[in-house]
């Protein structure tokens, strides 16, 4: 009985020591954006990219960049890095104004997440 | 709405855990005198066949539900996407192998093979199902070690549930019943104790990975609240199991104690089915952000 108790305690300790190396994380939410959320840029960006906190599925990855006129300025299909974490999309010519990045992805654990954020492109001399 | 996928997941984990656990118990009790275990061995193939048929029906439905969740659409709209999902997504690839393993399992359950070979085949194939279940779930977010630990958690659940159901399954008419209970109960008790230790360690590990030390998430998030319900149900099973171990098992020579034991074991099985229900809900609830 005593040996069994000790074995259980050892398993628990080992599990927690190993567990400490992989702390709790959320799944497939942006960790870093470029341009970043709320950023004001002096020149229009050529692309938008979002790094997620867990790998996502390319098949269901969606991203669009809408101007104040409601038009989507993203060009072509989004691309995903080989580690499955950074999603990018090329942009057409952006005029000065406020743009909304809307993303929707599926984490490799099958759960769906989506969200949006804005960035601003300043006009010349603004 | 997680009720439908969670119900499918519940039926799947219950069926595969039961096959895994009863097959393991058949191997563990191979040395017992054949007249005491005659009813258990006679009933096992029928149980396995019924459960594999259930897996055969529910698995494609569970896969389609998962595909709907991924594509955010309805069953009839997701059908054309199925080949792409199976080819291009991690969970889809895991499910491709899982569906294949279910078919092999169903064939193996109907083959006229020797009892020991059948038990080994049932155990190995359901172990494979559990592995693909681990790969197509939250554990994949945390890497290979987590997948392995998640598998161990599921296997321990199967061993415990399987041992309890086997004990009930082997109960025919007296005097065989009395012999079977006396011979099998110590093995059930040993398996249950080991399983509880493993389930607790691996379960707390999985919970820590998903929630960390943010204990407020236990009450503020759906995932945390489901986990609390699971722990509460688990605690009741532990109390019942402890009562059996401390008060009942030592008096198995008395018919009244054997009756009490069977009644409590039946209650433990029902409560463990409830724990499996909470587990299926957890597997279908996004861990909190
Ligand atoms: C201290 C006790 C326990 C804790 C803390 C615990 C915790 C957990 C957690 C966090 C998960 C992961 C769910 C996910 O996000 O995918 C899980 C899965 C699971 N648990 Fe437990 N658990 C415990 C006891 C048990 C017991 C007693 C059983 C059944 C006998 C059980 C059966 C399962 C099964 C089968 C799964 C896999 C569900 C699936 O993949 O569909 N657990 N558990």
- The per-residue pLDDT for range B163-181, each reduced to its tens digit, is 999 999 998 776 678 889 9
Is the pLDDT reported for residue A24 higher than 60? Answer: no
Q: What is the pLDDT of residue A18?
A: 44
Query: pLDDT tens for residues B60-74?
Result: 999 999 999 999 999
Residues of A in contact with B287 (CB under 8 A): 24, 26-27
Please work out whether the CB of residue B109 comes within 6 Å of at least one atom of ligand 1: no
CB B252 within 8 A of CB B258: yes
Cα(A45)–Cα(A39) distance, integer angstroms: 11
Q: What is the pLDDT of residue A25?
A: 47
Query: pLDDT tens for residues B65-113?
Result: 999 999 999 988 999 999 999 999 999 999 999 999 999 999 999 999 9
Q: Which two tokens stand for residue B14?
A: 């219950």
Name the helix (H) or strand (E) containing A2: helix A2-20
DSSP B13-32: HHHHHHHHHHHHHHHHTTTS
CB contact under 8 A, B70 and A54: no
Q: Confidence class of residue A22 from pLDDT cuts 50, 70 and 90?
A: very low
Q: Which domains does chain A have, with CATH numbers?
A: 26-121 (2.60.40.1220)
CB B217 within 8 A of CB B211: yes
Q: What is the mean pLDDT of residues A104-123?
A: 93
Q: Quick check: A115 contacting B, CB < 8 Å? A: no
Task: List the one residue out of B133, B241, B129 whose CA is nearest residue B191.
Answer: B241
CB B196 within 8 A of CB B245: no
Q: Which ipTM was obtained for this model? A: 0.80
Cα(B119)–Cα(B100) distance, integer angstroms: 19
Q: Which two tokens stand for residue A95?
A: 């005029």
CB B249 within 8 A of CB B189: yes
Alpha helices for chain B (secondary structure H): 3-28, 38-71, 75-78, 82-88, 90-110, 115-135, 144-169, 176-211, 217-220, 222-243, 255-283
Residues of A in contact with B149 (CB under 8 A): 15
**Positions in chain B whose pLDDT score sits under 70:** 1, 174-175, 289
Query: pLDDT tens for residues A10-21?
Result: 554 544 444 444
Q: What is the pLDDT of residue A37?
A: 95
Q: What is the pLDDT of residue B175?
A: 67
Q: Which two tokens stand for residue B39?
A: 């009813």
Per DSSP, what are the bridge partners of residue A34?
Answer: A49
Task: List the one residue out of A43, A67, A70, A47 whose CA is nearest residue A126.
Answer: A43
Q: What is the pLDDT of residue B289?
A: 62
Cα(A109)–Cα(B243) distance, integer angstroms: 39
Please work out whether the CB of residue B98 comes within 6 Å of at least one atom of ligand 1: no
Is the pLDDT reported for residue A80 higher than 60? Answer: yes
Q: What is the pLDDT of residue B177?
A: 84
Per DSSP, what are the bridge partners of residue A80?
Answer: A87
Q: pTM for this structure?
A: 0.88
Q: Quick check: A100 contacting B, CB < 8 Å? A: no
Cα(B71)–Cα(B78) distance, integer angstroms: 7
Q: Quick check: A106 contacting B, CB < 8 Å? A: yes
Taking chain B, what is the end-to-end CA distance rounded to the nearest angstrom?
18
Give ∠ CA B256-B166-A6 in degrees, rounded to 5.
90
Please work out whether the CB of residue B138 comes within 6 Å of at least one atom of ligand 1: yes
Residues 6+ apart with CB under 8 A from B161: B14, B17, B18, B21, B269, B272, B276
**Which atom of ligand 1 is nearest to B139's Cα?**
16
DSSP B192-217: HHHHHHHHHHHHHHHHHHHHTT-TTH
CB A91 within 8 A of CB A47: yes
Instruction: Render the burial of A36-68: b for 16+ CB within 10 Å, e for the rest.
Output: eeeeeeeebbeebbbebbbbbbbbbbebbbbbe
CB contact under 8 A, B209 and A54: no
DSSP A66-110: E-TTS-B-EEEEEEE-TTS-EEEEEE-PPPSEEEEEEEEEEBTTS
């Amino acid at each position: 009985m005593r040996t069994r108790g000790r074995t259980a305690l050892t398993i628990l300790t080992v599990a927690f020591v190993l567990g400490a190396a992989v702390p709790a994380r959320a799944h497939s939410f942006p960790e870093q954006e470029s341009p970043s959320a709320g950023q004001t840029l002096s020149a229009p960006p050529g692309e938008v990219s979002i790094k997620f906190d867990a790998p996502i599925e390319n098949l269901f990855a969606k991203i669009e960049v809408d101007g104040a006129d409601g038009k989507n300025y993203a060009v072509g299909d989004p691309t995903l890095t080989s580690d499955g974490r950074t999603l990018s999309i090329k942009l057409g010519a952006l005029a000065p104004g406020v743009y909304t990045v809307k993303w929707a992805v599926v984490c490799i654990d099958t759960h769906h997440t989506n969200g949006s954020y804005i960035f601003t492109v300043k006009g010349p001399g603004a | 709405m997680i009720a439908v996928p969670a119900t499918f997941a519940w039926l799947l984990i219950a069926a595969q855990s039961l096959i895994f656990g009863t097959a393991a118990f058949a191997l563990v009790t191979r040395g017992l005198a054949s007249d005491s275990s005659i009813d258990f061995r006679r009933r096992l193939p029928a149980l396995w066949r019924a459960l594999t048929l259930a897996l055969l029906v529910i698995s494609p439905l569970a896969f389609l539900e998962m595909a709907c969740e991924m594509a955010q659409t309805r069953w009839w709209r997701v059908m054309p996407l199925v080949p792409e999902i199976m080819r291009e997504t991690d969970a889809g690839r895991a499910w491709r192998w899982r569906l294949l393993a279910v078919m092999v399992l169903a064939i193996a359950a109907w083959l006229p093979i020797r009892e020991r070979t059948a038990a080994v085949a049932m155990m190995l194939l359901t172990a494979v199902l559990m592995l693909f279940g681990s790969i197509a779930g939250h554990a994949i977010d945390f890497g290979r070690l987590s997948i392995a630990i998640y598998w161990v958690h599921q296997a321990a659940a199967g061993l415990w549930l399987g041992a309890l159901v086997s004990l009930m399954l082997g109960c025919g008419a007296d005097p065989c019943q009395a012999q079977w209970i006396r011979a099998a109960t110590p093995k059930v008790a040993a398996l249950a104790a080991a399983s509880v230790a493993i389930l607790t360690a691996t379960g707390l590990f999985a919970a820590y990975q998903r929630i960390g030390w943010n204990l407020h998430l236990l009450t503020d998030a759906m995932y945390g609240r489901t986990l609390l319900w699971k722990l509460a149900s688990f605690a009741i099973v532990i109390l019942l199991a402890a009562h059996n171990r401390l008060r009942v098992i030592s008096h198995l020579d008395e018919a009244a104690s054997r009756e009490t034991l069977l009644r409590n074991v039946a209650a433990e099985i029902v409560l463990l089915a409830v724990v499996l229900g909470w587990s299926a809900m957890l597997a279908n609830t996004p861990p909190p952000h």
